[in-house]
Amino acid sequence: MTQNTEGRRGLDPDVIVKSALAVADTEGLDAVTIRRLAQEHQVTPMALYRHFKDKDDLLQALADRLLADVVLPEADDQPWPDQMRSNLDALLTALRPHPGVAHLTLPRILTSAPGLALAERCLALLVDGGFDIDQAAEVGRQTLCSLVALVAAEPRLDPRTDEDGREDAIAARRAALATLPASRYPNVVAAAGTLSYCENPERYYQIGLDLAVAAMVRTRPRP
């Protein structure tokens, strides 16, 4: 009442996580430090330990927040591969704005409630598709792992570089591939443009979903 503009008093853990996410998105995960967050909230570093056990606990809360943003589509009567694709797309949509911290969600999928909801839905669809429960578990786990990795590995530049620096960095990356000996790496040289940066993120993730669903469909036990 006295020190904050809002009615809440003291530090709000959700607000800490929110600013941690903002720092991670704009300056990278390395910039997320207890001391930095304390400074932003005009408080002593030790004040954060009243709300989080340690730094890892804070990062888990951050990951859980990302998973909480996953909007699972309602189950319907579409074929299971289409429903699977929708569910996986929901995960990508939640993670894509935060590529620098997306990988933190992987260990939380089987721990947090929203993660479990996603996992449960995927398992149900796989079982529906003909997998036994153990196969479904393995296939589901690996598929989710792949998609999280896809977001984390999306070719991107340091978010701190400005417009001019971006073009230069991309050009440098392309040149590094394009000037390789074409006799030894003909295909890499030919694909230099595509490999040097992510021209079209939509296409990138569309292919990612295509591959994930195709893998499931083709791997499922045929009756």
Partner DNA sequence: ACCTGAACACCGTTCAAGT
Residues at the site binding a second copy, with contacts judged by CB under 8 A: 106, 110-111, 116, 119-120, 123-124, 127, 133-139, 141-143, 145-146, 148-150, 152-153, 176-177, 180, 184-188, 190-191, 193-195, 203-204, 207-208, 210-212, 214-219
**DSSP characters over 7-22:** S--S--HHHHHHHHHH
* Interaction between residue 33 and DNA (CB under 7 A): yes
Rounded (10°) angle between helices 55-68 and 80-95: 130
Q: Least distance from C-beta 162 to a second copy, angstroms?
A: 22
Size of the site for DNA (CB under 7 A): 18
Q: Least distance from C-beta 23 to a second copy, angstroms?
A: 20
* Interaction between residue 46 and DNA (CB under 7 A): yes
Q: Which does 10 bind (CB under 5 to 8 A by kind): a second copy, DNA, none?
A: DNA
Output the six-digit token pair for 208.
Answer: 């990612």
Among 15, 19, 25, 49, binds DNA (CB under 7 A): 49
Contacts (Cβ under 8 Å, ≥6 apart) of 170:
157, 196, 197
Phi then psi for residue 141, to 5 deg, are -60, -45
| Angle subtended at Cα 134 by Cα 133 and Cα 136, rounded to the nearest 5 degrees | 65
In the shown chain, the binding pattern of residues 57 to 86 toward DNA, with x for contact by CB under 7 A and - for none, equals: ------------------------------
* Interaction between residue 96 and DNA (CB under 7 A): no
Q: DSSP label at 3?
A: S
Output the six-digit token pair for 79.
Answer: 């074929």
3-state secondary structure 162-205: CHHHHHHHHHHHHHHHHCCCCCCCHHHHHCHHHHHCCCCHHHHH
Q: Which does 169 bind (CB under 5 to 8 A by kind): DNA, a second copy, none?
A: none
Q: How far apart are CA 51 and CA 54, in angstroms?
A: 9
Q: Which does 46 bind (CB under 5 to 8 A by kind): DNA, a second copy, none?
A: DNA
Q: Which does 1 bind (CB under 5 to 8 A by kind): a second copy, DNA, none?
A: none
Question: Which residues contact DNA (rule: CB under 7 A)?
Answer: 10-11, 32-36, 43-47, 49-51, 54-56
